[in-house]
Amino acid sequence: MSEQPALLALRCLQCNTPVPAQPDEVAWVCATCQTGLLLDETNGLTKFAFHFADGIKGTGRPVWVAQGKVALDRTSRNLLGKDGDAERFWDAPRQFIIPAWSCGVDELVDLAIGWLQTPIGLKAGPAASFLPVTLRPEDARPVAEYVIVGIEALRKDQLRKVEFILDLGEPELWVLP
């Protein structure tokens, strides 16, 4: 048995190439055979699909992408400003895109809100290099919940209280330009 910490002993499940893992990272693509790998507290290291969007030049940005259906119950301070935008917005399932690289909380929330308000089409493209993946897939849900509150607080009817149930699909890892 190796006495090295587990992170330093990671090897590709497909070809046994050592994975140069940094302590904060949770997912990699093997440099030798391009197998995607995810480190999970319950399952350990597993094979895992990476998706690359079209148009990456240089280093791509990894994100978690999940479909979410939100059942919303909100009350506003200003009933005159209430125009049903929120109800219409959440009527359909929404595509949540959560930055998975290491960025500040403000940037993370701004980007996630922007991508929720203005959905981007995800078209598969060739594999590319990408920033280290540091957000675990199980953390996509708390971020998505935070983003829902953020988006509701931005509406002009002055949110007083919001409650919701989020039905979030399994997050997929995409690398964006």
**Interface ranges with Zn ion (CB under 5 A):** 12, 14-15, 17, 30, 32-33, 35
C-alpha radius of gyration, the chain, whole number = 19
Specify whether the CB–CB gap between 11 and 18 falls below 8 A.
Answer: yes
Q: Which is nearer to Zn ion, 11 or 77 (CB)?
A: 11
Given the complex with Zn ion, which of 8 and 15 has the nearer CB atom?
15
- Of 32 and 129, CB closest to Zn ion: 32
Question: What are the backbone dihedrals phi and psi of residue 139, each rounded to the nearest 5 degrees, phi first?
Answer: -85, -5
Toward Zn ion, which CB reaches closer, 17 or 95? 17
CB closer to Zn ion out of 36 and 60: 36
Q: How far is the CB of 20 from Zn ion (least distance, A)?
A: 12
Q: Minimum Å distance from CB 50 to Zn ion? A: 13
Shortest distance, position 82 Cβ to Zn ion, whole Å: 55
Nearest distance from C-beta of residue 19 to Zn ion, angstroms: 8
Q: Please name which of 144, 142, 133, 146 lies closest in space to residue 173, comparing C-alpha atoms.
A: 133
The least CB distance from residue 24 to Zn ion, in Å, is 21
